[in-house]
Amino acid sequence: MTSNSMAGEGSPIFYTVTEAAQILRVDAATIYRAIREDAFPAVRVRTRYVVPARAVEELARQAAESSGVVDVAQMAADKRNARDFERATGGAW
């Protein structure tokens, strides 16, 4: 198993911000800005960010399934709200 793959699969677990930007066909600055605004998933390791490959794949899947626009900022806000709700209620509905 390499540091970039799980269970011997050849696909990466994380992309650099530049790689994610290339895949999404946007400028890396757009990704960095969204990360800083907590509107795009990332992992910070000291001063560097990496983007979970699964997050990029999920965006593509949702866009293909909905045949519409996927708003990453809205997805992030929904997840933050769910997390805040869980914290406030102790996970109870």
- Tens-digit pLDDT profile for residues 40-81: 999 999 999 999 999 899 888 888 898 788 888 787 788 888
Instruction: With CA atoms as reference, report the closest residue to 40 among 24, 65, 84.
Output: 24
What contacts 37, CB < 8 A, 6 or more positions away? 73
CA separation for the pair 34, 26 (Å, rounded) = 12
Between CA 10 and CA 59 the distance in angstroms is 20
pLDDT at 5: 42
pLDDT score for 6? 47
**26 vs 8, higher pLDDT:** 26
pTM over 0.85: no
Q: What is the fold, at CATH topology level, of the domain defined by 14-89?
A: Multidrug-efflux Transporter Regulator; Chain: A; Domain 2 (1.10.1660)
- What are the extents of the domains in the chain? 14-89
